[in-house]
Structure 1
Amino acid sequence: MEIVVKGRNTEIADRFREQVEEKLGKIEQLAPRAQRVDVELTHERNPRQSDQAEKIEITVRDKGPVIRAEASASDRYGALDLAVGKLVERLRRVRDRRKDHHRYSPPPPGQVPSVEQEPEVEQEERPQPPTRPGESVEAQLGDSPVIVRQKLHEATPMTVDQALYEMELVGHPFYLFIDEETGQPCAVYHRHGWTYGVIRLDTVVTASNHVLDPAGRPA
């Protein structure tokens, strides 16, 4: 299993790298098929966020769904411990699912709220999107201090049930996917309490990954 450690706004000391490899080396028994683990350490320079100055993101890649855990703390070793704890919990969930073939129940009909359109943001320059799966690109939005980060993911068609499962594994409040039954781009997300929502786009993705409008014309 390959472990890749990189830093954003910070340097990675050999001692910290060794600590990462030691802790993650113990997860192989929970993820025997894992081929690569990406660890990203981000240092927040804003002194007002000193209690969360160090952020760790751990991503496990294998033949199954991507599993990710994030955590922040005032020091990087504390953040690492928190992130590894979350990761172990999610890896155990994957193992138990494979053993018991447990499935999430899809949200019942009528629980998908209407979506209000967000106001458009005027910008002078659009950041160029990434071109390879897994690649991320950051760029400043025009003359503003806003940083836009874009990331490209592979879009394997799946059911709503599987999308909910993978959303929980990466610890995100939403998950984008292609519905294997309808071919529509969709997003599942957390609602208040223990309910979920699904947003669907009224388009169809062809085998060549071209998006068509409802009339069958290129969007």
Structure 2
Amino acid sequence: MNYNIRGENFEVTEALKDYVDRKLGKLEKYFDEPITTEIRVNMEVHNNDRVIEVTIPMQELLLRAEDTHTDMYAAIDLVTEKLERQIRKYKTKVNRKFRQSGRPKQWRDAMTEGSLATATEVVEEEESEFEVVRNKRFDFKPMNVDEAILQMNMLGHTFFVFNNDETNDISVVYKRKDGKYGLIEQES
């Protein structure tokens, strides 16, 4: 696995790099083929808290987890557990969905393709009345509403913008306060 490990407000030691490699290397057992994308690991120190954020971009999926602890090694353990839960949940839902729809096995294996996602982040600093602190650009892959909700939940976000494969328009799914989901579509 190829890592891009960054430290903010502290220097990342070789021991931490080895620990990240050993812990995140355990995720390979969930994939048929090795992960070929660059795994981004960002470690930060805020007061007494150690924050770690791990992003694994793949062709059909973006895995992301973040955790905070007073010990960086414990934070790495916690973020690895979160990623394992995300992967197991995703694989279970994909397998259940494709068993019900009767699609061939190669569709189920989309997660194991491990190629680089086309999502790129651009951080811009602008001063205006409404300060924009981050700008993200994505190449939207066509997906249905269920896949978009799954992706939103796995990222831990409250909304997700996607290209609806049924209408071929940009749509938004969001989590409502009552725990259900909403869908925003373009008017024709």
Q: 1:6-85 maps to which residues of 2 (within 5 A)?
A: 6-33=6-33, 34-36=35-37, 37-44=39-46, 47=47, 50=48, 53-85=49-81
Residue from 153, 158, 168 that aligns with 1:168: 153
SS state at 1:101 partner? helix
Change over 3 Å in CA distance of 1:95–1:183 after alignment to 2: closer
Change over 3 Å in CA distance of 1:134–1:76 after alignment to 2: farther
Shift of 1:102: 6.4
SS state at 2:151 partner? helix
Shift of 1:197: 1.2
SS state at 2:133 partner? strand
- Counterpart residue number, 1:179: 164
Change over 3 Å in CA distance of 1:93–1:140 after alignment to 2: same
Shift of 1:27: 0.9
Shift of 1:68: 1.5
| Kept in 1: contact 2:54–2:65 (CA 8 A) | yes
Structure with the largest fraction of helix: 2
Q: TM-score, normalised by structure 2?
A: 0.76
Q: Unpaired segments of 5 or more residues in structure 1?
A: 104-131, 203-213, 215-219
Shift of 1:133: 4.1
Q: Unpaired segments of 5 or more residues in structure 2?
A: 100-116
User: Counterparts of 2:139 and 2:161 in 1: how far apart (Å)?
Assistant: 10
Shift of 1:97: 2.7
Number of equivalenced pairs:
169
Change over 3 Å in CA distance of 1:143–1:173 after alignment to 2: closer
User: Counterparts of 1:154 and 1:95 in 2: how far apart (Å)?
Assistant: 23
After the TM superposition, which of the residue ranges 78-87 and 147-156 deviates more from structure 2?
147-156
| Kept in 1: contact 2:90–2:150 (CA 8 A) | no
Change over 3 Å in CA distance of 1:11–1:95 after alignment to 2: same
- Counterpart residue number, 1:96: 92
Identical pairs, percent:
29
Q: 1:136-175 maps to which residues of 2 (within 5 A)?
A: 136-142=121-127, 148-175=133-160
- Counterpart residue number, 2:111: none
Q: TM-score, normalised by structure 1?
A: 0.66
Shift of 1:90: 0.8
- Counterpart residue number, 2:112: none
Change over 3 Å in CA distance of 1:153–1:143 after alignment to 2: closer
| Kept in 1: contact 2:125–2:132 (CA 8 A) | yes
Residue-by-residue CA offset, 1:78-127 (whole Å, 9 max, x unaligned)? 22121111100011112223433369xxxxxxxxxxxxxxxxxxxxxxxx
Q: Which has the higher contact order (CA 8 A, sep 6+)?
A: 2
Over the aligned positions, Cα root-mean-square deviation in angstroms equals 2.7
User: Counterparts of 2:85 and 2:60 in 1: how far apart (Å)?
Assistant: 16
Greater C-alpha radius of gyration? 1
| Kept in 1: contact 2:51–2:75 (CA 8 A) | yes
SS state at 1:148 partner? coil
| Kept in 2: contact 1:133–1:152 (CA 8 A) | no
